[in-house]
Amino acid sequence: MDESEPARKYSEAEIQEEDRRIRRLRRLVDFSLAFIAQSPLSSEEAQRVVQGVRRQATALFPGKEETFELLYAPRFRRLIAEKFRLM
């Protein structure tokens, strides 16, 4: 955004929708982390779970793939490294 452009005001409905999508993604991430930790998955299966979460995150927040990589990918990498002793 250019400094000369006025900041966009978001409606209450837009803010609520954004909050709903954030909560949905957080639940999905938390569930997926628990599922990977507690299930007898192979490393490849765990990676497929992560890819599915990444696809859902991209569907919920198009154009924000980098944000997923910064916020959630490290949590999945740590868990998978611990579970499969990849450290």
Give the model confidence (pLDDT) of 53-82 as tens digits.
999 999 999 999 999 999 999 999 999 999
Decide if 76 contacts 50 (C-beta within 8 A): yes
Would the pLDDT of 1 be above 60?
no
User: What does the block give as tokens for 78?
Assistant: 């740590």
Q: How many residues does the chain have?
A: 87
Long-range interactions of 84-87: CB distance < 8 A, separation 24+: 84/43, 84/46, 86/43
Is the pTM of the predicted complex or chain greater than 0.75?
A: yes
Confidence of residue 37 (pLDDT cuts 50, 70, 90): very high
Residue labelled with tokens 């250019």: 2
Quote the CA–CA distance of 83 and 87 in Å, as a whole number. 10
